[in-house]
């Protein structure tokens, strides 16, 4: 699981220079090509399409060197895990409470696109999806918020204006809500 978490953090943070090494190591440690493929698919929804798409050529290069073919990767449209109806009803109500007044499209599209098509795919255990989905993103957002806080005081942190400006600003909906901004 350590390899899976490392891959998730590297993909989520856009650290693709180191990704190949850790994908190779994760394969040596027993992670399957299918699990890595599913992790990247999963992360496209949680860490951004661009981060996932930039990881693909790096991982493909590792797979090519190891002679891992598409026959060792998950199907595009597999038979999905069964739905836990009670858990789904709770999740749907929570999404409605969180996003219903802001974006009904998020509420309407979440059940099929994110939870049915993504979370129920059998190529990655549900436990592992929980590990690689929201968690790396939360960690990265906390880091971005922390860096932003420190960058707000460049003199105290002995950063120049250029260095302080280079630190990415948090942009997630969580920070927008904290700032009182409504995202459409």
pLDDT tens digits for range 164-183: 444 444 434 443 344 443 43
Interacting residues of 74 by C-beta distance below 8 A, sequence separation 6+: 34, 37, 38, 121, 122, 123
What pLDDT does 141 receive? Answer: 59
CATH of domain 2-72: 1.20.1290.10
- Sorted by where each begins, the domain ranges of the chain are 2-72, 85-120, 135-178
What pLDDT does 29 receive? Answer: 95
Mean pLDDT across 107-135: 79
Between the two ends of the chain, the Cα-to-Cα distance in Å is 36
pLDDT tens digits for range 82-104: 888 898 888 889 889 988 888 88
157: pLDDT confidence band, cut at 50, 70 and 90?
very low
């Amino acid at each position: 699981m350590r390899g899976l978490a490392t891959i998730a953090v590297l993909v989520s943070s856009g650290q693709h220079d180191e990704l190949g090494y850790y994908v190779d190591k994760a394969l040596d440690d027993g992670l399957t090509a299918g699990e890595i493929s599913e992790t990247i698919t999963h992360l496209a929804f949680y860490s951004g399409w661009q981060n996932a798409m930039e990881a693909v050529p790096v991982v493909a290069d590792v797979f090519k060197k190891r002679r891992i073919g598409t026959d060792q990767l998950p199907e595009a449209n597999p038979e999905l895990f069964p739905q836990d109806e009670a858990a789904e009803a709770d999740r749907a109500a929570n999404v409605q409470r969180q996003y219903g007044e802001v974006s009904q499209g998020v509420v309407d599209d979440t059940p099929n696109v994110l939870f049915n098509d993504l979370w129920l795919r059998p190529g990655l255990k549900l436990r592992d999806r929980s590990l690689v989905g929201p968690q790396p993103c939360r960690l990265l957002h906390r880091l971005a918020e922390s860096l932003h806080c420190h960058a707000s005081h460049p003199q105290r942190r002995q950063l120049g204006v250029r260095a302080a400006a280079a630190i990415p600003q948090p942009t997630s909906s969580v920070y927008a809500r904290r700032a009182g901004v409504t995202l459409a």
